Structure 1
Amino acid sequence: MTAVADNTLVSERDLSKLKWRCRRGLLENDLFIERFFRRHESHLTVFHAEGLRQLMDLSDNDLLDLMLARKEPADDLDRPDVHAVLALLRTPQ
């Protein structure tokens, strides 16, 4: 399935749910995700939110490998929304 870019901003309620969903057990992941929200939450779109939801289905170690660019998205994760969110997550300060 290919994600279609939906540039609608995420509602406050959906943003709150998404932040809750993004809580991780691995501190390193939490640091990446917290930085992502600090930088992008005010202009987060439905497109990005869906990519982030897809990433949150991964185990902590698989997610960290993607965020550190040790791996690239494959199979069901090889989608435009996932790639877009990873680019934002990987952007250093």
Structure 2
Amino acid sequence: MPYVNTIERVEREKALQQGMAQGLEQGLEQGVGQGRQLEARRILQRQLRKRFGDLPHWVSEQLEAADVDQLEAWSDEILFAESLDTLFKH
């Protein structure tokens, strides 16, 4: 086993701590982003059902595939849309 001096050990531990902190931060950011997306989808689905009734399968598929920006844009456009077809430009 190669000799590892105290300075090398301390540097390795620092690097490990930094890597763990970065991984935790990235995981938290990803989790928050996914939470925003799920909540935006849930709210839009509720709005769509109240306005247009039961949703066809193709609408559910589009909602599942959409990112947060698209979901928020549809949430704004629902105020003016005459139908699901016009809202989703289907």
TM-score bracket for the superposition, by shorter chain length: 0.3 to 0.5
Greater relative contact order structure (CA < 8 Å, 6+ sep): 1
The TM-score normalised by the length of structure 2 is 0.37
Relative to its length, the structure with more helix (as a share) is 2
TM-score norm. by structure 1 comes to 0.36
